[in-house]
Amino acid sequence: MTHNGQCLLFLTLAILTCNVLRCHCKSLDYRDKPSGKISQEISKYTDIAQKIIQLAVYGNAQNRSYEKLAAFTDTVGHRVTGSRNLDLAIKYMYNAMRLDGLENVHLEPVKIPRWIRGEESAVMVLPRNHSMSILGLGSSVGTPKEGIEAEVLVVESFEELKRRANEAKGKIVVFNQPFVSYAETVVYRTAGASEAAKVGAVASLIRSVTPFSINSPHTGWQWYQPGVPQIPTASITVEDAQMMARMARRCTRIVVRLTMGAENLADVDSFNTVAEITGTEHPEQVVLLSGHLDSWDVGQGAMDDGGGVAISWEALSLIKDLGLRPRRTLRTVLWSAEEAGGLGAAQYYQQHKANISNFDLVMESDLGTFAPVGLQFTGSDKARAVMWEVVKLLTPINVTSLEEHGEGTDINMWMEAGVPGASLHTADSRYFWFHHSQGDTMTVQDPTEMNLCSAVWAVVAYVVADLDEMLPR
């Protein structure tokens, strides 16, 4: 093989690896070649950044984002799309942010789906009586009142389901897919019911999308495909999926009775919750910080996405408490109905896209508020060069990385339309252990880590909002 051939192979492998790793690789190019002028301008914010860090991590605001989140989630609990609890959560945040002295606190109306879980159960009746822990999937239809009792077909993949299509008719399909990564494996949750229905199944049960379980089911939204019969679908635990797979390998006949009272009701009114610190020079220009206020209807929604909500609020509190006011407006938006497919954010985009040229940076935290390591960023090369300089301000708290690809259901539309976007990147490999399960509670949150996340969020938002120029597109 020639040297060029080797290079090409290496490049191809690097690109593939990069895609597989969702491009969590540093773009050293821009870091190594910052524009001198930008570098100089941003280095002037070193003192302000230090003051924000001091207040958030060591000062009077220490543990405040944690305490805000604990008081909120302990008081309201979980808050699924369309629920009374989500209404309560919106009122709570509206009042709390007003009381906190933030500006222009208001609600922006959106329509969101209302899905009701109802009573649900799954009992293995053969080969022995065993009550399974389940969580119906969001948007699933219910079963008849008496439930659906049917033999089980266990498959490990969509490929196996296709191969064994002639065995599926009238059965409950159990997907026992191994966990590879959330991005790769979640398709069994989002599309499993329709794939099972296509081959004649009467219901589908999905192994929870998690790398670790203490018999804990993990719910999540699913989507029926047009023109395919809508069958009831629920998540089961890794343990039960694996047990049924072992039984099936022993040729044991398995019968399950699934009962779900789930219902899709008419859309209801809801709100994105907004608070600001108005900019001094360009109040119409906006740096947007966000997290989603809705959660699943289990646990406390403390991690997904209470943490993102708390630091997006706290970032503004820190800036206000220091008497700071940037040139552009800082706007915190707490989205409604993210879990149903980013619906609050989608409507916000429609409502505000005419004004897109005034959106400087959109930020979202929805992957946990554990120890922060940096940002994931989508934007032009020039914007990235600016962001590298901003991230340098976080060196005192060991936050140093700027990775590819800002992520987040709620800011994707803006990024796709060319607005720079940043998501918070934190170090916790256990995120999916708790995600969408009863384990998503304040117990997984750490006050010290949340202090650091709040500091990151405030420094980045303030500095970008105060620069001479908006981020280059």
**By CB under 8 A, residue 83 contacts a copy of itself:** no
- Tokens matching residue 208: 């929870």
Query: What b/e readout covers 303-320, taking b as 16+ CB neighbours within 10 angstroms?
Result: bbbbbbbbbbbbbbbbbb
Q: Is 239 a catalytic residue?
A: no
Query: What b/e readout covers 221-239, taking b as 16+ CB neighbours within 10 angstroms?
Result: bbebeeeeeebbbbbbbbb
Least separation in angstroms between CB 11 and a copy of itself: 39
Size of the site for a copy of itself (CB under 8 A): 32
Among residues 120, 195, 276, 338, the one annotated as catalytic is 338
Determine the residue type at 213: S
Contact string 213-252 vs a copy of itself (x = CB under 8 A): xxxx---------------------xx--xx--xx--x-x
Question: Which is nearer to a copy of itself, 4 or 129 (by Cβ)?
Answer: 129
Question: Which is nearer to a copy of itself, 208 or 259 (by Cβ)?
Answer: 208
**By CB under 8 A, residue 126 contacts a copy of itself:** no
Stretch that binds a copy of itself, among 94-102, 136-144, 304-312, 432-440 (CB under 8 A): 432-440
Stretch that binds a copy of itself, among 4-12, 122-130, 196-204, 412-420 (CB under 8 A): 122-130
CA 338 to chain centroid, in Å, comes to 8
**By CB under 8 A, residue 71 contacts a copy of itself:** yes
DSSP state of 193: H
For residue 326, is the peptide bond before it cis, meaning its omega torsion is within 30 degrees of 0? no
CB 131 within 8 A of CB 215: no
**By CB under 8 A, residue 16 contacts a copy of itself:** no
The single residue among 45, 48, 72, 77 that binds a copy of itself, judged by CB under 8 A, is 77
Least separation in angstroms between CB 248 and a copy of itself: 11
Contacts of 344 (CB under 8 A, 6+ apart): 110, 112, 270, 272, 292, 294, 335, 336, 337, 338, 410
Q: Is 437 exposed, middle or buried (0-12, 13-18, 19+ CB in 10 A)?
A: buried
Instruction: Give the residue carrying structure tokens 């998540």.
Output: 235
Q: How far is CA 222 from CA 102, 110, 165, 210, 434, in A?
A: 37, 21, 21, 16, 19
**By CB under 8 A, residue 257 contacts a copy of itself:** no
Contacts (CB under 8 A) with a copy of itself, residues 433-462? 433-434, 437-439, 441-443
Q: How far is CA 378 from CA 9, 357, 422, 473, in A?
A: 27, 16, 6, 10
**By CB under 8 A, residue 125 contacts a copy of itself:** no
**By CB under 8 A, residue 128 contacts a copy of itself:** yes
Binding region for a copy of itself (CB under 8 A): 70-71, 74-77, 127-128, 130, 133, 213-216, 238-239, 242-243, 246-247, 250, 252, 299-300, 433-434, 437-439, 441-443
Residues serving a catalytic function are 338
